[in-house]
């Protein structure tokens, strides 16, 4: 394990990258080199490992026939020598664009510099020569140029399209480089670079701006980062370029696996830079998981030379330079949250409707507690019946009060059933429970206030027994209510309604998402104002199984931890296979300061809490213990649709593990590598 501090992104597999757009001074390599150095020094101070600049940035892209002037080309080589010498005491690898003469030809190149040396030079493979572009007038294409060297700054450096730059040290990573038009082609060089191991792909660009072009560039960068399972760091020419016939917006952004991490303001008249921490470990994990990526690499063999360099991360603590959603199942962006809720809700409805259609049954049986999960399951069931043109009265809904059912939840259950227009009834399970307790000679049957797991599960089991027998009696099917978070934590009784049913539309929905789905329905116009108010009241009710009588509410989160944190842990453990210490670091980044924005719309003030690292570690340890100990419940779970790219826990779908696996090495990793 590295000796870097816990609060350093580099310790957890992140690499800080940056994209910069200086204000260029046309045909003045010395001045442009000075501008580059100013930004490299800023990046070095910020802990950046990799920094990319625009295409032909040492001269300016828009200088046309001046590109072939010997005086200018000599000045370019001198500027590169200056940059190499100045980089001796600077940590970042930085890549600048320059026209270079090699073997009697002129190439449009990317020059990679670090630690006092030119580490490699990559020529542009594909030269645009259409509309406003005339690059073949000046340059030789780099496609097919491999195995060569070039002398710069007094030393020989590898030259060709067959170069990858690989950092050794505490945080190793590999960089691939392409130039502008290369990514606009059907076979970008960065595709082969990624398949050969490059996790960070750089693009030096001089793409001019026209209406709508910036969105096309974003799509290209995002799609290439997604398809190549990589980070894609893009920098395009901006201020200072000639506006004789075209204009420039200085577009620079950073994508990781399809997601935008950072971008600069466009049309700036001064130098700009954006930086972000890319998750190299996550990229490697995803490439390992997506076996078709490796298959493609095997079918497309390519020989790359490795240009090595040593990168030493800063020793001190660094704040993580990327946004970490507190609720990975419910994004903070209101538009995305609305779209996610729309899709999740309709996936559930479609899944249940299809199961009803396929079964040939016309009736659904469901237990309604007045809590979150059964509320949402009933809403989904009602919508499914609407979709099938079946009457909602074919939904047989029951509230089944027990020893600790509160007046509030029972009242809300009745109000909800009536509001949904379903067939509603009540079965008091207490008499049957008392008979069973007496048959078991349980202390409660002798008047002793013993509320153990037997006492609790008799109630849960009876509710399920009634529902299944009611389904038999009415030729219907039982709709499950248990959610993804409960299944992950094992907070469900084996063989009862929150674990067992004929079909469970909630099984792929995290608790934090269910809350927003109910808000989505309340605001959708599908329900009247009174029902919307009822749903808000259900949302504000303490989450509780209501199995133990007494004045104190049996608060679920006091046993299994805050669902906000446990959903976070679930997402990063199962979706990305992250080590527990890294999950703790990300959770601390997201949760240690409640005053920072980023809360999903509708998050109540009471839920806007902060968590320190010891508390995060404590609940994560509990999550790991419960997650491993309760796999046997997930191995026997009924069908239900996968909802989120964050994953599901069906043994037939996203998640497979033996029921007798132990959490020991995960707990040991957390304890050894997480303070507190």
Distance from C-alpha of 485 to C-alpha of 207, rounded to nearest angstrom = 46
Verify whether residue 221 is a known catalytic residue.
Answer: no
Sequence-separated (6 or more) residues with CB below 8 Å from residue 471? 363, 365, 477, 478, 502
Cα 352 from chain centroid (whole Å)? 28
* Nearest to 39, CA basis, from 26, 47, 51, 57: 51
Q: What are the C-alpha distances in Å from 383 to residues 316, 352, 642, 668? A: 55, 10, 18, 47
Cβ-based neighbour number of residue 526 at 10 Å: 15
Cα(121)–Cα(157) distance, rounded to whole angstroms? 7
Instruction: Find all residues with CB under 8 Å of 525, minimum gap 6, and list them.
Output: none
- With contact defined as beta carbons under 8 Å apart, do 366 and 374 qualify? yes
Nearest to 33 by CA among 93, 75, 65: 75
Report residue 493: phi and psi, to 5°: -85, 130
Active site residue 180: yes
In the set 124, 383, 410, 633, the catalytic residue is 124
CA–CA separation, 455 and 550 (whole Å): 14
Q: What is the DSSP letter of 265?
A: P
**Whether 124 is catalytic:** yes
Find the distance separating the first CA and the last CA of the chain, reported in whole Å: 18
The one catalytic residue among 180, 221, 341, 492: 180
CA 513/CA 411 separation, integer angstroms: 24
Contact 404, 550 (CB under 8 A): yes
Q: What are phi and psi of 626, to 5 degrees?
A: -70, -40
Catalytic machinery residues: 55, 124, 180
């Amino acid at each position: 394990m590295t000796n870097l501090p816990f609060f350093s992104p580099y310790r957890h597999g992140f690499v800080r990258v940056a994209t910069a757009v200086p204000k260029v001074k046309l045909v003045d390599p010395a001045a442009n080199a000075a501008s580059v150095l100013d930004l490299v020094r800023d990046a070095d101070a910020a802990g950046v490992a990799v920094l990319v600049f625009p295409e032909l940035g040492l001269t300016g892209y828009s200088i046309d026939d001046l590109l072939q002037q010997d005086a200018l080309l000599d000045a370019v080589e001198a500027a590169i020598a200056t940059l190499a010498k100045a980089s001796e005491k600077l940590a970042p690898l930085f890549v600048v664009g320059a026209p270079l003469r090699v073997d009697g030809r002129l190439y449009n190149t990317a020059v990679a510099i670090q630690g006092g040396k030119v580490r490699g030079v990559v020529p542009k493979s594909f030269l645009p020569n259409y509309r406003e572009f005339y690059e073949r007038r000046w340059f030789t294409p780099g496609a097919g140029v491999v195995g060569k060297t070039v002398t710069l700054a007094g030393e020989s450096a590898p030259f060709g399209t067959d170069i990858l730059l690989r950092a050794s040290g505490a945080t190793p990573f590999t960089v691939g480089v392409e130039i502008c038009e290369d990514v606009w082609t059907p076979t970008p060089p960065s595709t082969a670079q990624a398949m050969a191991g490059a996790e960070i792909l750089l693009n030096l660009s001089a793409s001019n701006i026209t209406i709508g072009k910036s969105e096309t560039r974003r799509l290209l960068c995002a799609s290439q980062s997604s398809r190549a399972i990589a980070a894609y760091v893009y920098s395009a020419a901006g201020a200072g370029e000639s506006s004789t016939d075209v204009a420039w917006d200085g577009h620079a952004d950073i994508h990781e696996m399809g997601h935008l991490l950072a971008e600069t303001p466009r049309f700036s008249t001064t130098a700009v830079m954006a930086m972000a921490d890319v998750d190299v470990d996550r990229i490697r994990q995803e490439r390992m998981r997506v076996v078709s990526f490796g298959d493609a690499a095997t079918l497309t063999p390519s020989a790359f030379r490795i240009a090595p360099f040593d990168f030493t991360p800063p020793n001190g603590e660094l704040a993580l330079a990327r946004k970490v959603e507190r609720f990975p199942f419910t994004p903070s962006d209101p538009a995305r949250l609305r779209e996610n809720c729309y899709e999740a809700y309709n996936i559930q409805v479609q899944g249940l409707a299809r199961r009803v259609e396929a079964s040939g049954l016309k009736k659904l049986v469901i237990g309604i507690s007045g809590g979150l999960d059964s509320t949402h399951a009933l809403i989904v069931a009602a919508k499914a019946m609407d979709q099938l043109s079946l009457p909602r009265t074919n939904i047989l809904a029951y509230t089944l009060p027990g020893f600790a059912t509160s007046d509030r939840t029972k009242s809300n259950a009745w109000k909800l059933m009536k509001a949904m227009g379903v067939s509603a009834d009540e079965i008091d399970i207490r008499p049957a429970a008392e008979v069973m307790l007496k048959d078991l000679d349980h202390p409660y049957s002798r008047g002793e206030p013993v509320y153990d797991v037997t006492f609790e599960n008799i109630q849960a089991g009876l509710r399920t027994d009634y529902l299944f027998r009611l389904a038999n009696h009415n030729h219907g099917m039982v709709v499950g209510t248990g959610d993804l978070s409960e299944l992950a934590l094992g907070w469900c009784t084996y063989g009862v309604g929150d674990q067992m049913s004929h079909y469970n539309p909630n099984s792929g929905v995290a608790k934090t998402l269910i809350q927003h789905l109910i808000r989505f329905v309340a605001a959708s116009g599908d329900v009247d104002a009174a029902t919307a108010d009822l749903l808000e009241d259900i949302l504000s009710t303490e989450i509780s199984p209501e199995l133990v009588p007494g004045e104190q509410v049996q608060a679920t989160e006091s046993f299994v931890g805050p669902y906000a944190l446990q959903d976070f842990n679930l997402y990063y453990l199962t979706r990305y296979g992250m080590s527990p210490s890294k999950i703790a670091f990300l959770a601390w980044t997201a949760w240690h300061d409640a005053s920072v924005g980023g809360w999903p719309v509708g998050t109540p003030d009471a839920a806007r809490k902060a968590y320190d690292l010891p508390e995060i570690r404590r609940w994560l340890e509990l999550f790991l213990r419960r997650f491993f100990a309760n796999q046997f419940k997930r191995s026997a779970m009924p069908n239900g649709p996968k909802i989120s790219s964050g994953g599901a826990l069906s043994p037939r779908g996203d998640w497979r593990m033996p029921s007798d696996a132990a959490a020991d090495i995960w707990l040991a990793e957390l304890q050894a590598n997480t303070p507190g």
